[in-house]
Structure 1
Amino acid sequence: MNSFATAYLPFDTVWKMRIDHPYSLFVREGSILWSCGQCPLDNQGNVLHPGDLLRQAQAVAGFIRRFLGDMQSQASSIGRLVVYYVKTAPGDANRLSDLFRREFGRSVQIMPVAVPHFYYEGMLIEVDVFASDEKVGDTRFVDEESGLTLEVSDAGPFVWATVSSSSTLGQNIGLRLNRLLALANLSRETLLAEQWFLPIGCDISDAGLSVDQCPALQNAVRVCDVDADVRAELTFAKAPVFVGRRTATTLDGDHLSISLRMAGDHFHMAAIDASPDRGLVEQTASIMKAVETVFADTGLSFRDVRKATTYYIAGSSADDLHDNMSVRNRYYERPGPASTGLPVEALLVPGAEISISLFGVMPRHGR
């Protein structure tokens, strides 16, 4: 396959959401594949096995295998699964990790993230898939004193890394993680994207790896399991990383911040609005408008986005998802990116109710 080939798996051919949307189930760009959140839904949008976490996880594993086949890829290409779930009992995270490793092998990075609820009654799980046909193995690095673990997988143009640490390590995570990154021949100068997941009561304000002015604090959410480990998903580029001219720019009275990093054929943008005078929908609108402006200034567009991830604070009704989703939808055209929207316990930036992460490809003439 041409390294620049783009393919989309349409959403509506399999599932029906309860709101019109311009997104794709899977998107392929060359050897890299991203998914939307894989849900335990039937083709009418009804929840499968309501209230049964492990049966839903098994159903989602089946969907992942099926859709990878539809994209001319294999389960062995999976590098990372981010498993969002509602905790139903102690040990759920370990049970889910074991289930997905049985399904897809030990070389897959499994990252369980507890969320407060989902938007459809009885739904307990949603899984993001990151895959590469150029994936090479998975290597673990462990800090023997603290147990902090770094898993690293070569994905072709990227290196995917996953961090896991006891929350008791707190502010010491940054120093120990940097040591493991050095062992893995990874450098913060090549970091393209980072997302942290912290249990309530744990802060790691100095652990951000970004070389620009956007620390981990702005790319972190609270998980619902107070006993959970600190976790992070990191993406390192093999090409040099350049910081956009408006990276970490504060707009609109110091409440809105955007980080843009570019490397080779790819970019990552993270945006957050912490205005106390705007609610969820208003913050969503201000972020999308600001992203549109930064895109225009840098020659990018929403057509270049391949994966969008949104974390927000809201109730458990479908309307809470649909209200902010409808704002985001207006900026995309079919076939759109793979998109995942997750309610979370909290964002770490005071006043923020939503953060948006966009991963995409640099525009090419004639595409």
Structure 2
Amino acid sequence: MSTSATAYLPFDTVWKMRIEHPYSLFVREGALLWSCGQCPLDSLGNVLHPGDLMRQAQVVAGFIRRFLGEMQSRPSSIGRLVIYYVKTGPDDAARLTRLFHGEFGPTVQVIPVAVPHFYYDGMLIEVDVFASDEKAEGTSFVDEETGLTLQVSDAGPFIWATFSSPRVAFKEIGSRLNRLLVRADLSRDYLLAEQWFLPVGCEVPDGVFSGSDDRIAHSAVQISDAEADIMAELTFAKAPIVDNRPRASVSDTDHLSMSLRMAGGQFHLTALDASPDRSFVEQTASIMKAVEALFADAGVSFRDVRKATTYYVAGSSSDELHDNMSVRNGYYAKPGPASTGLPVEGLAVTGAKVSISLFGVMPRNDR
């Protein structure tokens, strides 16, 4: 199925969170679909199979199949799964990858991301779904010497790419990734969005893309598995990129970092606040206010956001999750975007406690 209309699967018809929120379980825009983090919860918000990672993973896979069906799509439309999980053993990432490849096919891009905790006792996994009814079969490009791998899949309006590198190849990532991109006929000039996942203790790779290290630093989080590969989810547009930087009307630019990139009918924004004197909730408030101003300058709004992802450094209480959500919630109205919020070990920019990523579509004249 493919349609130009926007469709939403309401969150509260399936799960109930312990805080009121405006977000959607799945969002469709034409052929494209995004999910909120799919969790092993029952209809009352209770954790299913607490403490059992693989059983929870199977439950989540079942939810994904069910909800895709409700959105008039098929499991074969899935191009990328980002699997956030609490590490319970050395083989968790491999086991989860095998499980989800078995459920949804071997060419689905699977990104396992170890997080320090979730906010509900016994919950060990949460999965983001990226799908397109126009998805083509994926292709892999491998650097045989180092094991660097680039998986590529045409999603219709843009191209999904997932990069992984053994940590031992850390110093060679830049030049070798660029060579893989050439083999895949991809150019960083068309890079709409990127998110890097670095094992704890690993710094931002130097020279990954010439001249763009600062942007990479602002799109990198530290994950909880020190032995994990360095990974990145990359989204390439098929139209030229327009990069909108904040104008002078955005205050506190010494601590705020924002980038709004547009291509064709889509946009992607990344934002963080590195003020050391603000709590992560205060940083969230600062970011959202600045994003609102930048959106206004660019002619878009929070109504145009389809997928929101927030990474932050905080404790393990649900109150901290809910306090952070409450700030963000005020900028959206139902039916809102698919939204995922995750604690991480750290952000690559010193002083930053929150990183916000927003993917959206340019407003149409008929809205």
Q: Give the 3-state SS of the residue equivalent to 1:136 in structure 2.
A: coil
Q: Give the 3-state SS of the residue equivalent to 2:228 in structure 1.
A: coil
1:1-367 equivalences in 2 (<5 Å): 3-209=3-209, 214-246=214-246, 251-252=251-252, 254-367=254-367
Change (3 A) 1:213 1:175: closer
Q: TM-score, normalised by structure 2?
A: 0.97
C-alpha displacement of 1:171: 3.0
Contact 2:163/2:233 (8 A) holds in 1: yes
Change (3 A) 1:251 1:323: same
Contact 1:31/1:132 (8 A) holds in 2: yes
Change (3 A) 1:311 1:245: closer
Q: Which amino acid aligns with 1:318?
A: S
Q: TM-score, normalised by structure 1?
A: 0.97
Q: Which sections of structure 2, spanning at least 5 residues, go unmatched?
A: none
How far apart in 2 are the matches of 1:269 and 1:340?
Answer: 15
C-alpha displacement of 1:195: 0.2
Change (3 A) 1:224 1:245: closer
C-alpha displacement of 1:122: 0.2
C-alpha displacement of 1:4: 2.3
Runs of 4+ in 1 over 6 A off after TM superposition: 210-213, 247-250
Q: Which amino acid aligns with 2:80?
A: R
Q: Could you give the per-residue CA deviations for residues 256-305 of structure 1, whole angstroms, max 9, x where no partner exists?
A: 10001000000000001000010111000000000000001111100000
How far apart in 2 are the matches of 1:2 and 1:235?
Answer: 21
**Aligned residue-pair number:** 367
How far apart in 1 are the matches of 2:31 and 2:107?
Answer: 18
C-alpha displacement of 1:72: 0.2
How far apart in 2 are the matches of 1:123 and 1:330?
Answer: 27
Change (3 A) 1:210 1:2: farther
Q: Which amino acid aligns with 1:158?
A: F
Q: Which amino acid aligns with 1:133?
A: D
How far apart in 2 are the matches of 1:213 and 1:230?
Answer: 15
C-alpha displacement of 1:308: 0.1
Change (3 A) 1:77 1:316: same
How far apart in 2 are the matches of 1:210 and 1:6?
Answer: 37
Out of 78-87 and 252-261, give the one that drifted further. Answer: 252-261
Change (3 A) 1:269 1:310: same
C-alpha displacement of 1:246: 2.5
How far apart in 2 are the matches of 1:250 and 1:198?
Answer: 30
How far apart in 1 are the matches of 2:207 and 2:195?
Answer: 11
Contact 1:213/1:248 (8 A) holds in 2: no
How far apart in 2 are the matches of 1:355 and 1:10?
Answer: 25
Q: Which amino acid aligns with 1:291?
A: V
C-alpha displacement of 1:38: 0.2
Q: Which amino acid aligns with 1:145?
A: E
C-alpha displacement of 1:209: 3.9
C-alpha displacement of 1:241: 1.0
